[in-house]
Structure 1
């Protein structure tokens, strides 16, 4: 469950309320004071219709309820539409490229803020004898702040006119810092690089990307080293057709795609030709109930390797962004490593968007 505050008008007054979201962005508890015995309970359908399940102890008019519902909708849309981004950097070339990509994306998403974050006590989440910690990857607090300021100057002419760039440097562990910052500052998108040119960058940035994808509570955009920002027009969601109605984060995906003004395609790759998994037909119906064919384009493919099939489709159909909702992160790792370890340069321009499984 997520909790946030919104402000809405009741006559001439502005009221601040605390909103707790549950059941996959469908149910909302609204309180003036935390722990109210009789809070307002609202429900929103998948089509966006609101129902007042419990009016609470506060007496609100129909007009005031509409203002409240609108304020909640606006907050969630700005959150999941990436109104604010957190850009992670270790000052590598891969991180610089990801930051430039995020700067370009602010124009399309009309983002109000980019926050650049670096832990000056940064250590890789996973270290190996193959890729030991390099001295140039460890920075003092003063050096971190100086490098972030330099990065801010580089990005300033690249962001949208109304986008504010902020910097944060501290010594917190990376994962806990990312989750704390995104929650406290209501950030809906974390951006980081995929891998650099040399072996150290590939191993360290790579291991961190996978770990953050697993542990980050917020949607994650992974930008390949060779990716250059261009208008995102075509997005493909690679869906595994497993427990669709309970796991696919429909509202966050819809808000992000809508804010991009992009076209969404949904792809299912079957591993063995002609032998889809037993529940595929039922799950496909659930998927069509969520998105009808007027809203998205559906594609089906057979491939001996699912990850290769997804990457082939994204390349052949000139997709600008690939969305996944990993239920087990071996799937994510396989996509990640196939585009990295096999040096598929013609594919490494496609950024990967990781949405969290809905539960």
Structure 2
């Protein structure tokens, strides 16, 4: 559930409204006044058409509803197209690489805003343990200095159309991310996948897992050795459970269009479960959601879900993996397994996580 404001025009009258979005931005409650008794209820259909489910207590013409819907679409387009990106950093090598990846992605998008953020509740990455912690002001000054260094490092990569700003404070990381997401109208959060200090020997850090579970906007997880290249092949790995209710179709579609990439839809199942009678309706729903994008559909069996996905990404030279994980064991599994020889090849593959709508 997300709340935002819009402005639209009905005839010569300029109106403001409060919009609450539900169901992966498919249903909207529109109020002219907070807690309105009889609000407007709108539904955005899969193909982009709108349906007025409840007209509310105000007399709004068909043109008025069209202007309202256009204003909502404009807001969503700005969010989905990731005009505003938050890059999290603890100044580790992996975090710095994620910032460079974000800058290169921004260049491919032509115009974008990047905010580099460090939470002082997450200690600075350092090789030497601190015997006596310095005062908080010293931490802040050091963090700001490092953020400015990182900003200057990525500016040449990001291109002239990109603005880069820096922020640091003492808020807990997850709380800060979600507050900034609302304040800055973020479309994407980007972070690396290693922790600090000795944790850099591991491909997944606890901070990444925590943010992945709680982040309200899409999270792009960038492996430590990933190098940005123009993204031309993207796979959406999904299961066949509540497809219509839980798939953020419009968000994924907008990003695919922004990248101008080819979309693959992948379902990996065990023991032929993809063609179990219980999943036929879900298969039909999946096609209704995506057929207009003309993706390549792939259904395969594998005893190991993660291995099945990774095999597919290698075979089809996938450059970005998108998923809506229901169990974060799946997310952890990809990168823990990357420490083994079997999956080490795949640690270059960025993972874009969309939160399940509950």
Residue pair 1:93, 1:196 contacting (<8 A) in 2 also: no
* TM-score, length of structure 1 as denominator length: 0.89
Separation in structure 2 between the aligned mates of residue 177 and residue 330 of structure 1, nearest angstrom: 25
Aligned to 1:128: none
Structure 1, unaligned runs of 5 or more: 125-130
Contact residue 18 and residue 32 of structure 2 kept, 8 A: yes
Q: Report the more deviating stretch, 308-317 or 3-12.
A: 3-12
1:180-213 Cα offsets, whole Å, 9 max, x none, are 1112221121100123797422449622112211
Query: Is residue 312 of structure 1 aligned with residue 291 of structure 2?
Result: no
C-alpha distance after superposition, 1:317-352 (max 9, x if no partner):
111100111111111111121124548443121101
Which has the larger displacement, 298-307 or 195-204? 195-204
Which residues in structure 2 correspond to 1:261-276 (within 5 Å)? 261-272=260-271, 274=272, 276=274
Whether the 8 Å contact between 1:196 and 1:225 is mirrored in structure 2 is no
SS at match of 1:348: helix
Deviations 1:29-79 (A, max 9, x none): 222221223333222211111122333344433333222211101111211
Gaps of 5+ in 2: none
**Cα root mean square deviation, aligned:** 2.7
Residues 120-161 of structure 1: per-residue CA shift (max 9 Å, x gap): 23159xxxxxx9995499970111111111111112122243
User: Given the superposition, is the C-alpha separation of residues 85 and 343 from structure 1 closer, same or farther in structure 2, using an over 3 Å criterion?
Assistant: farther
Q: 1:294 to 1:216 in 2, by over 3 A?
A: closer
The correspondence of residues 107-146 of structure 1 with structure 2, limited to 5 A, is 107-123=107-123, 134-135=129-130, 140-146=139-145
Task: Report the CA distance shift for 1:202/1:76 in structure 2 as closer, same or farther (over 3 A).
Answer: farther
Match in the other structure for 2:60 = 60
106-115 or 52-61: which moved more? 52-61
Matched, 1:105 2:105: yes
Equivalent positions of 1:1-359 (< 5 A) are: 1-12=1-12, 14-123=14-123, 134-135=129-130, 140-195=139-194, 199-203=198-202, 206-272=205-271, 274=272, 276=274, 278=276, 279-292=278-291, 295-342=294-341, 344-359=343-358
Range moving further from structure 2, 77-86 or 291-300? 291-300
The alignment of Structure 1 onto Structure 2 pairs a total of residues equal to 352
